[in-house]
A and B are shown apart, each in its own frame.
Chain A
Amino acid sequence: MSVEELRGISQKALKSALKENVDQAQVAAFLFDSARTRFANSQIHQNVVSKKGGVAIKVAIGKRIGFMRADVLEAEQIENAVGQAIKIARVNPEDKYFKSFPEPERWQSLQDAFDDDTANCSPDYRAERVKEAIEVSHSESPLVKAVAGSILSSSYSLAVTNSLGMSAWTKMSLASMNVTVISEKTGSEGFGYAEQSSRHIKDIDPVKLAAQASEKSVKSINPAKISLGEYEVVLSPIAASSFFVFLSLIGFSAAPYQRGESFVKYHLNEQVFDEKLSVKDDAGDPRTVFKLAVDGEGVTKKRVPLIDKGVVSEESICHDTSTASREDRQSTGHALPHGLIRMTRPIPFPINVIVHHGTASVDEMIEETGHGIFVTRFHYTNPVVPTKAVLTGLTRDGTFLIKNGELTKPIKNMRYTDTMLSALKRISMMGKELEAIRLGTVTVPAMKLEKLRFTGATEY
């Protein structure tokens, strides 16, 4: 189904709603075709394709709002969904903050957002890339025991129409691959990990990913236990990305901000982070992978300065129309695209995060470290005290001790518990290379922090 057909569906549903004398209506129609080949123990064990699509209908009767999302694209079912949204609006109490659905605005489709090769990638092509990753991993060392990971090829289309004249549409392709390598020697396991995202499936390089993950995996066999405390850390882009995802979740989304649970609220216009740290959310930046021109409400995705030279402000907050109306502001275009990103609750959220790069290489960061830890990846990061930006999580898939400028030995995985207001306050060096992580929603360099507080350790 083409984006033009989705436009037709949204326009037809809009007409149906307006026939029922609602004051305003908005319809988003979407289609998400995805295929994921997953492997573990050096063989394909899950191989899935899915075709998902539907409509998200919002109507306003005065200040009474009704919303229904129906994952159907058949005319009769869409009619039913429109009727249901109207029923909800008729009995729903007024939302005193509601002003209007978004006004139409000029928008531009983004260059190079869609790649036919990615959208039409065959299962055989994905299987071949998996085969390469597995073979290269095992060829790196006889100690490699098992290779795991997945490769994704997908396409997403969205068309949004509303009764104020809004008519916006966007489509993108997305490819991604990650490789985890497990090695073993005399009963001790080592782990390594690498990932890559692109809009172009042909850019995905399983050989490179496998080589990177294998090298780390073999090197991390027989990890030593080190004492807890504060260490200098060199974070790979993958590790660094965890901090920015969770700062977005607890800080830069309007939802926690309006609940009073965002650290940003208590540090407006303060130099809370190192001045080397500038972070923006910008769908228009050519370096971001997740390229959608408009959000789930059809609003153009605005560039939001999440952190400007270490300073956060009210401008750091990402809004959709609903949260914006509570503060008499305009949406920044951060309503999530329907059916694409799985969140427990749909809240306005930045998905084109770009951290400003520096000038250092990872090797230079290691050379400049006296006594520190190199982190490949963090696992199960979660906020502990959101208003103080305290996060916890564990290292994973390759953690190494750095001494006198060299990686000296693998260490057992460690738990950090620290406030980002301290950890990101003193950034010694920023990497010069940006990597698109987490399906390309975060584009970030490696970085070296003066200290991160480690509060626990595990047994491997």
Chain B
Amino acid sequence: MHELKYQPVVKKVFYKPYGVINLSYDLGKKAINEALKLGASYADVRIGEIFDENLTVRRGVPEEVSLLYSRGMGIRVIVRGAWGFAGSIDLKSEGIAETAQKAVSVALASSKLKKKNIKLAAIAKSRKDEYSTPMKKDPFEVPLEDKVDVLLSAERTLAEQSPLIKSSSTFFRAFRENKLFMSNEGTEITQQITFCGGGLLCVAVRNSEVQRRSYPCSFRGNYSTAGYEFFESLALVEHAKETGLEAVRLLDAVKCPSGKTDLIITGEQLELQIHESCGHPTELDRALGMEADYAGTSFLTPDKLGKLVYGSENVNMVADATAPGGLGTFGYDDEGIPAKQVFLVKEGLFMGYQTSRETAGDLGLGKSSGGMRADSPLAIPLVRMTNINLLPGDWKREEIIEDTRHGFLMDTNRSWSIDDKRLNFQFGAEIGWEIKNGSKERMVKNPTYTGMTPQFWSSCDAISKDDWKMWGTPNCGKGVPAQVMYVGHGCGTARFGKTRIGVLQ
């Protein structure tokens, strides 16, 4: 197992894009004092603003050039041992008082239907700190024209590969959240989280046969908590030709056969496998039944902690909010807990949960894993993935292929589904290849595979180290009302034995 050595968190001066609000400690104090005055035994407040720039070029036209800006505050309180939360766009003094009052009245209603008082896991000490995503080039300072030019150029290259390419799109996104967290325990944290990235997508059509190919991965590309330099490193224009050609070649590929076989999965697909089959089931709120009405529960119930064989001895997974560039990398979570790395699976054994202060307290874990995040200051924080990483093994990607007598390799997610306890899954990839005697042979289209989570990870016999990287998933849904969070997954390529493929036959 290769432990990853990360750089310590970097603190920097905040960037000052358009319209930055004053992350005012005074406003925060007012909100907390108001809540305490109304009877709260605990109160925290988040004040923040989000900038979200989305650019899409399709068929030579800027289909989407938009900037979304949102701001507001959220006050979370415990009154008579029960939670209440209120969020509002109103940052005026009287608005803050009203929002605090709403949070308290909601908590009072909650308190009439509680089994026990909320007990938060203790914090080591109250902190006053600031954190900013390290970057070289602020993506919001790069002229819009420059970004659009890259997208236009890449899209042109994609489209010109073949008349069979009926739709070609290129994407850029830059996201920034400036936020303040304060609690009545004395914690005061300001943070600036920035991520950016982009990608390519083309759709090739012949008669009614339709194939798609993305670069560097699906969901509009790859994203990183970094500056514009990350988008530049994707080199969209340079990769457009091969992406377009592969989409066209897929039209002539054979269907993925059905059967049980060795399956090699590249990072572009494996990241979502990790997300669905390790990320979600290790969320402690799910395991404790708190998401039973919507996303479901988890097969990783607390009685299995430290006992269940989740995977083979090769499998080590961590929740790591300190991983450089990860989409779930930050200084502090939305309860003011410092970013940390915790083991979820160690040498195949289920060892840990992603937690909040409340859920950690419920299970007697002593402290939170620092996994509470909200997608807006107006939304309540939930236990969310940070970066769920599969630690590197001893192999090189090419060695895994060379070591495979017969099997299939699948690359880039196309479809996904998993049951509400996170056991039975089915994934589809954009592209696959048959492996024969250690080399990639014929291309296969519409590849799919399915399995049960512990059996699948127990069949993992090789994990690469040379192509290990961070993948960003900016669209993780959870909660009621629904929230969409940006999370990360570090992984390379891995091999799984006797896996069922070709569900579509």
Contact = CB atoms under 8 A, between A and B. Distances in A.
Interface string B43-75: 000000000000000001111111111111010
Contacts of B428: 384-385
B158 interface: no
Interface string A294-334: 00000000000000000000000000001000000000000
A344 interface: yes
B106 A49 contact: yes
Nearest to B57: A93
A52 B417 CA distance: 31
A2 to B, nearest CB: 16
Interface stretch (A156-164, A165-173, A358-366, A392-400): A392-400
A148 B115 contact: no
B452 A260 contact: no
Interface in A12-35: 34-35
Contacts of B450: 415, 455-456
A54 interface: yes
A84 interface: yes
B497 to A, nearest CB: 19
Given A47-B106, A124-B109, A392 B415 contact: yes
Contacts of B378: 50-52
Contacts of A126: 109
B67 A47 contact: no
Contacts of A148: 289, 292-293
A92 interface: yes
B418 to A, nearest CB: 6
A261 B102 CA distance: 46
Interface stretch (A68-76, A271-279, A424-432, A442-450): A68-76
B112 interface: yes
B68 A93 contact: no
Contacts of B107: 47
A324 B41 CA distance: 55
B379 A261 contact: no
A325 to B, nearest CB: 11
B417 A394 contact: yes
B113 A71 contact: no
Interface residues on B, range: 35 or more
Interface stretch (A37-45, A109-117, A280-288, A368-376): A37-45
B289 A146 contact: yes
Given A41-B288, A44-B113, A80 B417 contact: no
A131 interface: yes
Contacts of A383: 415
Given A41-B288, A51-B87, A68 B148 contact: no
Interface in B245-267: none
B420 A48 contact: no
Interface stretch (B181-189, B203-211, B462-470): B203-211
Contacts of B380: 46, 48
B326 to A, nearest CB: 20
Contact of B114 (A44, A53, A92): A44
Given A44-B82, A92-B62, A130 B293 contact: no
A69 B51 CA distance: 10
A415 B109 contact: no
B424 interface: yes
A319 to B, nearest CB: 14
Contacts of A259: 166-167, 169, 203
A69 to B, nearest CB: 5
Contacts of A149: 293
Contacts of B19: 77, 80
Nearest to B21: A77
Contacts of B65: 65-67, 88, 92
A178 interface: yes
Looking at B60, B67, B83, B296, the one whose CB has the most chain A CB atoms below 10 A away is B67
Given A51-B88, A150-B480, A387 B113 contact: no
B22 to A, nearest CB: 13
A69 B19 CA distance: 13
A239 interface: no
Interface of B: 18-19, 60-72, 74, 82-90, 99, 102-103, 105-110, 112-115, 143-145, 148, 152, 166-167, 169, 203, 205, 208, 210, 212, 288-293, 296, 299, 378-380, 414-421, 423-424, 426, 428, 446, 448, 450, 452, 475, 480-482, 484, 503-504
Given A47-B82, A47-B109, A124-B112, 9 more contacts: A45-B83, A47-B110, A48-B87, A49-B86, A49-B102, A71-B71, A77-B19, A260-B203, A460-B423
Which 3 interchain pairs have the tightest Cβ spacing?
Answer: A71-B70, A123-B109, A458-B424
